[in-house]
Amino acid sequence: MAKKADGQARIHDQTLTRGNGGELHQVAEGDTPVLTTAQGGPVADDQNTLRVGARGPSLIEDFHFREKIFHFDHERIPERVVHARGYGAHGFFETYESLAQYTRADVFQRAGEKTPAFVRFSTVAGSKGSTDLARDVRGFAVKIYTKEGNWDIVGNNIPVFFIQDAIKFPDLIHSVKPEPDRGFPQAQSAHDNFWDFISLTPESMHMIMWVMSDRAIPRSFRFMEGFGVHTFRFLNANDETTFVKFIWKPKLGLQSVVWNEAVKISGADPDFHRRDLWDAIQSGNYPEWELCVQLFDQQFADVFDFDILDATKIIPEEVIKPLPVGRLVLDRMPENFFFETEQVAFMTQNVPPGIDFSNDPLLQGRNFSYLDTQLKRLGSTNFTHLPINAPKCPFHHFQQDGHMAMRNPTGRANYQPNSWGEGPREQPSRGFRSNTSVEEGPKVRLRAESFADHYSQARQFYKSQTPPEQNHIAAAITFELSKVETPVIRERVVAHLRNIDEGLARTVGGKLGLKKMPEPADAAVKTRTDLPPSSALSIIGNGPKSFMGRKLGVLVADGSDGALLDAVQAAAAEEGATVELVAPKVGGFTAADGTAVAAKHMIDGGPSVLFDAVVLLLAEDGGAQLAKEAAARDFVADAFAHCKFIGYTAGAAALLEKAAIPPSADEGLIVLDSAKSAAAFLKACRTLRVWSREPDVKL
């Protein structure tokens, strides 16, 4: 009998018997628990409603039916107003060294200590059921269950944001969500409302460079960075403060897909990112990130080129080197998606003693919003009673009652001070203390002048990209604006681009077919051209050092060389990569030596966009046969167009020819004829893509 963690048993081995009407009933026997109503009453028949005669009307007296349908009708809770689509996993955070010098946060005191954590990754704009590969920012929300309360770093995979003040958030989100009159497009920023808002909001320009870059189409949650975005504060035991920014760096390096691939993945596997995380954790390949901090003091803040309270700015890693302080490992999937991932409630205001906020107006607004949203979504002030949200350290307070109260406070005292000697008391020495910075000034609605430069870091980001990445940014903006139906909006965006990079503006303007370039947008502060490129900003420059954690798709058919397949699989295992076989039939194929081998996908269900590199392991007959099949030709043509490494046997010649790929087109096409060549191929795959091919494929 399979047991669930909560002690309930799953029903799987019941006896089948025939009911009165001849239909099959499953009857509990032996250890199998008896099906009951929610009130615990045993159920005799779960197949038929109570009715008058076999063909008569149903009776409202049927409390079992009524309860079952009532509960079903209320299964959905409101989806998150943003970040609705997400996927989570459990793990732990391990502290490298004591950071007592900077913070008294308990989680940073002892080297080697492991603290439980839960992470939820998400897209922002799409509904709960939207595709994983939408062009979008990814949420990267981490809850660390420290011994002094939950610490949530509710971050994104992009270190800056669209707006500088929280009051603009509803406008931003309204503009990107489906347009209200027509109810579309879903999970897309490529439409008039979004670009209208953006073109009228110059502070968004730095973020726009990031979301139009490949950062917005990651290959996997496992291969993306996470950022706390805002400046926070550390407070040590003496209440001395240090400013801090948080960055998660993936152990397996950065990787994204290309846009044409993203579009096709959305069709082939809308759950691509979920499945990837699930597969990795279930197979024991636990994803890992290093937590890095950028630490600085007021003196640095005073001289830095930009305002450290402005969430549209980064502090380049070359200016303040990120210091690794711990690692996050995800090693367990939730047992139930709804119970944990859907009900988890992250809140920026969840900080333990030793961590505090800065005056970033975006962060201050968020600290208000996240508590509010939990009540709407989870329906009760008691959402902290849910196991996923409850602290794992002891907690005592006098909050009581409310909807769905799950705790049973005992004793007479539900207030303090009290004369009964009961209940918890404050502890000034251990408790949370805010930093004591002196704040004064007139009550105003005013954006600081130090927030006024909207283009310099946008330019720095663009200039820090490799040529293929710059091309992708231009292509993405062109694509998005091509979906914008109002010409003046397109022109306004190009006018902003002129303040970022003239070449980029001209490329986009040219590809859009603008008759005449617009004047550069009015800028409050002239774009700085002296900011040095930052190599940390490029994905290609921060890719993996091996093919570890990546997936190889091997196209096989009857007659394929089994020994060579073994060699490819061994070489992939050596790299730490996984292999999936794609065959004309999912039942598998018969290798040249007569062995029957099972496949994971049939060709239609396993297009090459699902893999990081592919092998065409075909005998001559198999190659000739597949050359006639559109799905097989697409498999090869897409792998080539997406600049992937392609290993192939001589038998694949006909297929390559039909897919219009010259066999020795470039160094990414590698002949496989021995175990040695298989190993060399897998080694070549480490660079992931043959970017030199891209100008020729002209996607």
Which residues are at the interface with ligand HDE (CB under 6 A)? 80-83, 86, 120, 122, 139, 141, 154-156, 161, 166, 169, 229, 311, 344-346, 362, 365-366, 369-370, 373
- Is residue 501 within 8 A of residue 459, CB to CB? The reply is yes
- Residue tagged active-site, from 64, 83, 230, 642: 83
Task: Give the type of residue at 535.
Answer: S
Q: Which is nearer to ligand HDE, 64 or 143 (CB)?
A: 143
Q: Least CB distance from residue 436 to ligand HDE, whole Å?
A: 25
Report how far Cα 382 is from the mean position of its chain's Cα atoms. Answer: 28
Q: Which is nearer to ligand HDE, 346 or 547 (CB)?
A: 346
Cβ-proximal residue to ligand HDE, closest one: 139
Burial of residue 428 (number of CB atoms within 10 Å: 0-12, 13-18, 19+): exposed
* Omega cis (within 30) before 185: yes
Q: Least CB distance from residue 212 to ligand HDE, whole Å?
A: 18
In whole angstroms, how far apart are CA 18 and each of 12, 22, 135, 306, 677? 18, 5, 53, 76, 61
**CB neighbours of 33 closer than 8 A, spacing ≥ 6?**
8, 9, 11
Q: Least CB distance from residue 36 to ligand HDE, whole Å?
A: 33
In what side-by-side order are the strands of the sheet with 551-555?
A: 601-602, 578-583, 551-555, 613-616, 646-648, 669-671
Q: Least CB distance from residue 250 to ligand HDE, whole Å?
A: 16
**To which residue do tokens 């809770």 refer?**
77
Q: Least CB distance from residue 37 to ligand HDE, whole Å?
A: 33
Q: What are phi and psi of 436, to 5 degrees?
A: -105, 30
Mark whether 156 is an active-site residue. yes
Q: Which is nearer to ligand HDE, 163 or 540 (CB)?
A: 163
Q: Least CB distance from residue 5 to ligand HDE, whole Å?
A: 22
What tokens were used for 396?
Answer: 């005592």
- Is residue 317 within 8 A of residue 360, CB to CB? The reply is no
**To which residue do tokens 């403060």 refer?**
241
Rounded distance between C-alpha atoms, residue 21 and residue 289, angstroms: 59
553: β partners: 580, 614
What tokens were used for 488?
Answer: 């003046």
Q: Which is nearer to ligand HDE, 37 or 367 (CB)?
A: 367
**CB neighbours of 114 closer than 8 A, spacing ≥ 6?**
92, 93, 94
Q: Least CB distance from residue 378 to ligand HDE, whole Å?
A: 9
**CB neighbours of 143 closer than 8 A, spacing ≥ 6?**
117, 118, 119, 150, 151, 152, 344, 346, 350
Q: Which is nearer to ligand HDE, 154 or 494 (CB)?
A: 154
**CB neighbours of 184 closer than 8 A, spacing ≥ 6?**
178
**To which residue do tokens 């392991």 refer?**
617
Q: Which is nearer to ligand HDE, 141 or 690 (CB)?
A: 141
Q: Which is nearer to ligand HDE, 165 or 317 (CB)?
A: 165
Query: DSSP characters for 173-184?
Result: HHHHSPPTTT--
Q: Least CB distance from residue 81 to ligand HDE, whole Å?
A: 5
Q: Least CB distance from residue 251 to ligand HDE, whole Å?
A: 21
Rounded distance between C-alpha atoms, residue 302 and residue 356, angstroms: 19
Q: Which is nearer to ligand HDE, 362 or 579 (CB)?
A: 362
Q: Which is nearer to ligand HDE, 129 or 576 (CB)?
A: 129
Q: Least CB distance from residue 376 to ligand HDE, whole Å?
A: 9
Q: Which is nearer to ligand HDE, 246 or 640 (CB)?
A: 246
Rounded distance between C-alpha atoms, residue 478 and residue 228, angstroms: 30
- Is residue 150 within 8 A of residue 144, CB to CB? The reply is yes
Mark whether 20 is an active-site residue. no
* Omega cis (within 30) before 662: no
- Residue tagged active-site, from 64, 150, 156, 206: 156
Query: DSSP characters for 574-629?
Result: HHT-EEEEEESSTT-EE-TTS-EE--SEEGGGS-GGG-SEEEE---HHHHHHHTT-
Cβ atoms within 10 Å, residue 310: 26
Rounded distance between C-alpha atoms, residue 223 and residue 557, angstroms: 32
**To which residue do tokens 């010409």 refer?**
487
Q: Which is nearer to ligand HDE, 311 or 582 (CB)?
A: 311
Q: Least CB distance from residue 287 to ligand HDE, whole Å?
A: 17
Catalytically active residues are 83, 156
